[in-house]
Amino acid sequence: MSRIGKKPVPIPAGVTAKLDGQSIAVKGAKGELKFTAPEEVRVSIDGGAIHVEPHGEGKRARAMWGTARARIQNLVAGVTKGFEKKLEINGVGYKAAVAGKNLQLSLGYSHDVVFPIPAGVAIATPKPTEITIAGIDKRQVGQVAAEIRAFRGPEPYKGKGVKYADEFIFRKEGKKK
């Protein structure tokens, strides 16, 4: 039994939600997002809240119940306040800069890595060693952050590379004489 799925998603003031079959569209101050719920769950809007219920007693229906509710909650949170991820760059000579619609990363390779900024995401570099990724779609913000981190993930000996701001890197002891 899903504990998170039982809770209704409240619709705050200034946000409108429309239901069309299994598809739900949420519109707010920051923009509009859509989500199509899987066939295993039933979505309904009543009393200023969105309710999600399983459509049957199967294992997949119970799994999709909490997942669909969490995705709908992220839509509502995204159009009201948005999402943000911060990345840190550690290493001598490692830096980042936004150049037009591209993020240019110097990560110790023989060439700069050029990452095109996708639509719906804003990337800023307050410092050359800090990257801030913001947007209304939580999934897209997280995916962009993961792709940037994958260019040079943090290594365990010196901690060099791109890491999330709240990530802890377990350090290994170096070679002994």
Q: How confident is the model at residue 106 (pLDDT cuts 50, 70, 90)?
A: very high
157 found inside a domain: yes
* Domain stops at, among 80, 111, 129: 80
Pairing relation of β-strands 41-46 and 49-54? Answer: antiparallel
Within 8 A by CB and 6+ apart from 147, the residues are: 115
Q: Note whether residue 137 is domain-resident.
A: yes
Phi, psi of 41 (to 5 degrees): -125, 160
Tokens of 63: 């799994």
pLDDT at 2 over 80: no
Angle ∠(121,123,128) on CA atoms, nearest 5: 165
Q: How far apart are CA 127 and CA 125, in angstroms?
A: 5
Q: What is the mean pLDDT of the chain?
A: 92
Could you tell me the residue range of the domain that residue 35 belongs to? 3-80
Tally of structural domains, the chain: 2
pLDDT > 90: percent of the chain: 82
* CATH number, domain with residue 47: 3.90.930.12
Do 53 and 123 sit in the same domain of this protein? no
Do 108 and 38 have their domain in common?
A: no
Given this model, what pLDDT does residue 4 score? 85
Tokens 């004489």, residue located: 177
Which residues, at least 6 apart from 14, have a Cβ–Cβ distance to it below 8 Å? Answer: 28, 29, 80
- pLDDT tens by residue, 70-92: 999 999 999 999 999 999 999 99
